[in-house]
Amino acid sequence: MALPELTRTIDDDFVNTWYEIRPQVIDNILESNVFSLALKEAGCMTTQVGGEYVTRTIGYGTKSTQGFKEGSVLTQEVKKLDTMARWDWRYFLVDINRSLIEDNKNAGKFKIKDYLTRRIEAAKDALAADIETDLFRWGAYAPAAEDDRFNGIYDICPCEDAESAVGTGSASDSQAVGTSNGNINRATNAWWRNWCCDDDTTEAIANKLAAGTNAPYSLNLTPDMRHFFNLINANQEAPNFIIMDQDIYEAYEDEISDKQQIVRTAFNEKAADLGFVTMTFKGAPMTYSSKLADSKHIFMLNLNHIEMVYNPNMWFDMTNWKENTNQLDRVAYIACMTTGLITDQPRRHGIMEYAS
């Protein structure tokens, strides 16, 4: 077989193989860590084809009634009720490399399949590992530091002060520092802030610990979590997914070790089938991630108000093979286009922060 024909044949074999397994690979990647599994199972993966930005209409204004009687002079109140949140697209990819020499070494009848599999498996593993990492860090908030990564959990639910013990009631408002989610400034719009344990505007944990005990999480974990959960809930809409540092998760296990766990959600069962460890807290699935190691953070999220928007026309899609100038190497890329995590109601989420 002539070299150009061999190269085209292997090109086609790579592309055909990738698109045959692509749906399964996407599922495997999203189910490879417990957080992306939760996003998938909760229907947070939403699509948008094209567009310069991803936008959502955000309702924040309120109207009020007025009493009246015979002869009353009625008033009217014209208030702005809605605004628009806007998120930029982010892009990530992984490369698949080949060389003319490797193509010919592996062109035999029994080698080509292994050759394809090794290259594609390496790309798949890189995508799975990096998506998990990116979900647990700042993306759009700090693009210079994070290499233009997509929005992560700290973009939608930040806690930006240096770590301080729960219950200190810090005088500074960690949300009002001008950071942005959806191009709406949190510093000037208090309604666009998530709950934070040392946020003095919400007075979260500080209210409960009136005696100023400020004990470590190993002693007060369950009461702290219960109080913070109820603050976010406000008898309106409760968090439905909790994820935390492993040390805190194990401290909670110690606290409930003598209590029977009764509630198991469909997500808990799915996660268990895939080998993930989960429990429930006030009906919400709860788990931990190694990506939060030593953070001493507890995220209480409402997945009904979280999306990961992606473009289905550029979602784990392979590019054409490209030749490097003056070399015998060839490269193709598996590319993705997404916003990462976005939220239209930050007040439905909260982050607790303990001293390490």
One-letter-per-residue 3-state SS of 225-277 = HHHHHHHHHCCCCCCCEEEECHHHHHHHHHHCCCCCCCCCCHHHHHHHHCCCC
The structural domains of the chain, with segments of one domain joined by +, span: 1-59+82-356
Rg of the chain's alpha carbons, rounded to an integer? 25
Identify the pLDDT of residue 208.
37
Q: What local confidence, expressed as pLDDT, does residue 5 receive?
A: 67
Q: List the Cα angle 182/183/184 in 5-degree steps.
A: 90
Q: Which of these, 231, 76, 85, lies nearest to 151 by C-alpha position? A: 85
pTM of the model: 0.83
pLDDT digits (tens, 9 = 90+) for 174-210: 444 545 678 888 777 878 888 887 533 334 443 333 3
Contacts of 11 (CB under 8 A, 6+ apart): 321
Give the pLDDT confidence score for residue 34 in this predicted structure.
94
The average pLDDT across 216-233 equals 82
CA distance 217 to 206: 14
CATH classification (class only), 1-59+82-356: alpha beta
- How sure is the predictor about 355, in pLDDT bands with cuts at 50, 70 and 90? low
Q: Return the SS3 of 87.
A: strand
Average pLDDT for residues 214-231, to the nearest whole number? Answer: 77
pLDDT: which is higher, 141 or 260? 260
Burial 53-82 (b: 16+ CB within 10 A, else e): ebebebeeeeeeeeeeeeeeeeeeeeeeee
Beta bridge partners of 288: 244
| Predicted local distance difference test score (pLDDT) of residue 40 | 94
pLDDT above 60 (res 296) = yes
Go through 8-18 and write b for each residue having 16 or more CB atoms within 10 A of its CB, e for each that does not: eebbeebeebb
pLDDT surpasses 80 at 38: yes
C-alpha count within 13 angstroms, C-beta hemisphere, residue 149: 22
